[in-house]
Chain A
Amino acid sequence: MSLARRPSRPGGPAADVVKNGTAPGAAELCFRARGVTKVYGEGQAAVHALRGVDLDLPEGEMVVVLGASGSGKSTFLNILGGLDTPTGGEVLFRGQDISRANQRQLTEYRRRHVGFVFQFYNLMPSLTARENVALVTEIAEAPLAPEAALAMVGLEDRLDHFPTQLSGGEQQRVAIARAVAKQPSVLLCDEPTGALDSATGVRVLEALKTVNDDLGATTLLITHNAGIADIADRVVLFADGRVREVRVNRAKKQPREISW
């Protein structure tokens, strides 16, 4: 499987609300999911995490994914990120099927295309901010300099600090810098503000927005927090293992205009 890099930043959104999640006529799709199911366990103990998800996500958008616990949003994000494979259906990344890739191909996919931001940062405690970013740039093809990535999230004066010397928000911004330093095609964030207070969370969202604007990476942001949806180009609402609604924001807000 060859998942070649392609220039990003395609055309804009197509419709206000699309019931079934697909975006008709979108020329440059980042992800295209059809009939995606995911079942954990077997027989009576089987848990249907995804019950047939259809979704098209255009390149370069900021997408906020909302849904209650157990709605399937994290499972779906894991599949898009190449951490997991679906039980049924197909997922295309820029036209290439990643739903049937093997472990080695998925590792390669994550390495070349995907940046992750975790709820609990997951920084390497033994490495400084700069080194945490360098960890990823050393295995990337066309990375930003670690210093540039950290400057992008406003941490240019915290380069040689260890995680323990940084606040929660700062740690999360290092994590964002780490995720974007390899100039990923896709940035996946699972509850990136979940462990942060409102003011700190806003700074993290600003960093994410900057990255999205500057690099044009398709950004998916999972959250419980409906307020955050206002900064998105597109809002996807998960319920009961399916996409219940996709809404396109005509009037995006700036992160500093929201709070929770």
Chain B
Amino acid sequence: MIPWPAWMGALDRMLVRDLWRMKGQALTIAFVIAGGVAVHLLAAGMLSSLQATRDAYYDRNRFADVWAPVVRAPEHLLPDIRAVDGVQTAAVRIRVPALFEPPGTVAPSTGEVLSIPDEGEATLNRLHLVRGRLPVSGRSDEAVALQAFADAHRLEIGRVLPVTLRGGRRNLVVGTALSPEHVYAIGPGQFVPDDRLYGVLWMRRSALAEAVDQDQAFNEAVVRLSRDASEPAVIADLDRLLAPYGAPGAYGRKEQISDAFVSSEIDQLTTMGRVLPPVFLLVAAFLVNVVITRLIAVQRSGIGLLKAFGYRDRDVVAHYLKLVCVVAAVGVLIGGAAGTWFGRSMAEMYREYYRFPYLLFEANPADYVVVIAVAAATTLGGAALAVRRAAALRPAESMTPATPPDFSRAAGGRITRMKVLDQQTRMILRQIIRWPGRAALTVAGVAASGALLIGSLSMLDAIEVMIGSSFDVSNPHDVSVTLVEPRSRSALFSLAREPGVLEAEPFRTVAVRLRHGPHEERTAITGAPLDGTLSRLVDRDDRPVDPPPGGLVLSSDLAAKLGVEPGDRVEAQVTEGRRPLLNLPVTAVVDSYVGSGARMQLEDLNRALGEGPLISGAWLGVDSERTDDLYARLKAAPTVVGVGLQDEAVRRLAELIDENLGVAIFTYVGFASLIAAGVVYNTIRISFAERSRELASLRVLGFSRADVSYILLGEVVVLTLVALPLGAAAGAALAWYLAHAMSSDLFRLPFAVSPATFGLAGAMVLAITVAAGLLVRLQIDRLDLASALKTGE
């Protein structure tokens, strides 16, 4: 045996032995603390790392601040652009839409081709080359492909990729790269990124210019702002400068689609990380407090004994606080290590998901200080209260046989007098009625753990409702086709005649800047036929809202940003074609889940634009047996620039959610289960400690282990059954809170908890209860019967 160190007094040795004796319990309490701590730290670590990584990536690869597209402008304009006040660096380039035909794929891939300077690397939006090399200047058939697209099609270096760029071309892939502009690559008519369906290529400037007839010209300027520059001012200056060249208007990062997506997702993770972990930490703190209080209460006789020996109250209090400190420290250590590790792994996972070239892991010391403070305050707080109550006992009280607790009043409840009850059931009921506070705390603990489970799982329900509303109700079409430029209605008829097309509805979209008072928003107005069914705005109750004649319908987020209500008028500056300035009445605001949008009747929009009955594309209902033929035809159609496939989008969206929010949610669910397990096990275990003598007596009287387990576990089961509906209610409330707290510009998360979520959470709580019960059951089996005869308490 290892000799005790000299500085350890008898009390400290007792402490070590007590801890060892109650190691199972101590560990599960530590788990509850660890659960709260870990979730907090993992969220904090993951988020600060993701943000730091994104910022560093953007910075090192010189991600632009402003994009200014034009139809065609001369290259010699570049010095003027650089001279705009607030511009730090600027570059001009060629950017054209393209159709790709990667070998072995049926569905059409759309995308774009961008120019990089003839020599060296781009000044802005620099590529991060993963494999191969940049094209050699002067070679017109070499290109670098976006890494994700190359991966999705297994495009090796040296493969030939056919590209339709105003006529067919064959490009040799010489390298693959990541780009800060294409963290999310998404095409027109798609609102879910799909690496297979959307690609990007980079070619040397002169090679691309030759292919698309932009010699000595550019069609997009990109700008990085100097530190104190005002983005709106720069955008205004650029618009003025570029107006003669058909500029639809410059825009900032907020409207750059990739960054909008990435930032919105990180924002969502951040909100989830800001909203959920504190709830975890608070629940864990509350539970630890409850458990510790009861744990100490069981030590009553030991405390009396110490006092009888002459230990002072403060010695006794200090002794038990030390015990609790060790438990809390173990919990914080486990939670700290697990949280840091999980945070790092999840940040790493997101790095791969977003295809950031590297990860900067950041752990903020302040986060650690906060969790340690919360853990310490709650555990020690709970313990101090209980120990002081116990220390206030006169030592003699613990030396005499305990007075039996008084059940005469509380247990007089009529229900417990019912004849049909057997004595064991009566004991269970009276135990609960006698200590309603204790029963309430157990119920609260189980309910709180259940609520955490429901709250975490409800995120998935909310997303499902959102997707269902957006795809099945709002957009029940199978394919959306976007044309290169607006065409006459005859284009619709030819689309309708394509193989497999069952129905076709035209749409017209036009880029606009909506203005109302001081507010301005860039968006697109979509014109759709009045009697159309393939794409409609729907409200949160899935009711379609069709625009009345002459009026504009706005989604609620857009209306909020513009500060308009139904009845107001907005100014719409069209930024393409003849660029008319429209003044439109807002007739309705729709509270929808996904995305912002503005809708009009197709005829109204065309009339307002004054360009005749044109369409920008069509929504198609398609015979699912004949999609291959259709895709082949669409790929070959020179007038088609974008093809959105709803099935693919739904599938892809489900994947995205699994990979992105799903992982975070399941991690939270895991920790919620850990907390639930810690609470339930401790509740039963402490109940067992409090009543072990009673239970041993019953065993001596001839009751079987099953009988005795019934009395102990029956109480827990009754309380768990009471806790389930309460937990469901609390879970629903938490889900409601989370839905509200997490809604962003891009998504409004609906409040939704499916029956399956209630079922799953309930089943998990019950399973945890059963498992914890079985663990304690093992201890019932080992109950020392002889001791029941002897011990006073």
Contacts and interface: CB of A to CB of B under 8 A. Distances in A.
A77 B124 CA distance: 92
Which of A118, A124, A136 counts the most chain B CB atoms within 10 A?
A124
A150 interface: no
B129 to A, nearest CB: 71
Given A78-B786, A84-B785, A119-B789, A125 B699 contact: no
Interface residues on B, range: 35 or more
B369 interface: no
Nearest to A122: B697
Contacts of A182: 702
Given A116-B789, A120-B791, A163-B404, A127 B702 contact: no
Contacts of B401: 120-121, 195
B406 A164 contact: yes
Given A107-B699, A162-B407, A118 B788 contact: yes
Interface in B51-75: none
Interface in A153-211: 161-165, 171, 178, 182, 190, 195
Interface string A65-106: 000000000110010010110000000000000000001100
B697 A162 contact: no
The CB with the most chain B CB atoms within 10 A, among A118, A125, A164, is that of A125
Contact of B431 (A126, A163, A165): A126
A112 interface: yes
A111 interface: yes
A78 B699 CA distance: 13
Interface string B769-793: 0000000000000000110111110
Given A111-B703, A136-B701, A138-B422, A126 B411 contact: yes
A239 interface: no
Contacts of B224: none
Contacts of A136: 701-702
B430 A127 contact: yes
B408 interface: yes
B434 interface: yes
A30 interface: no
A119 B790 contact: yes
B405 interface: yes
Contacts of A162: 404, 406-408, 411
Nearest to B433: A126
Given A83-B786, A164-B406, A190-B789, A116 B701 contact: yes
A127 B423 contact: yes
A135 B408 contact: no
Given A84-B785, A122-B788, A164 B408 contact: yes
A139 B786 contact: no
B700 interface: yes
A114 interface: yes
A123 interface: yes
Contacts of A138: 422-423
A67 to B, nearest CB: 15
18 contacts: A78-B786, A108-B702, A110-B700, A111-B702, A111-B703, A114-B702, A118-B700, A119-B789, A122-B693, A122-B697, A122-B700, A126-B407, A126-B426, A127-B426, A131-B423, A139-B707, A163-B407, A164-B407
Interface of B: 401, 403-408, 411, 422-424, 426-427, 430-431, 434, 693-694, 697-705, 707, 785-786, 788-792
Given A107-B704, A127-B407, 18 more contacts: A78-B786, A78-B789, A103-B705, A111-B702, A111-B703, A124-B694, A124-B698, A126-B431, A134-B423, A135-B423, A138-B422, A162-B406, A164-B403, A164-B404, A165-B406, A165-B408, A190-B789, A195-B792
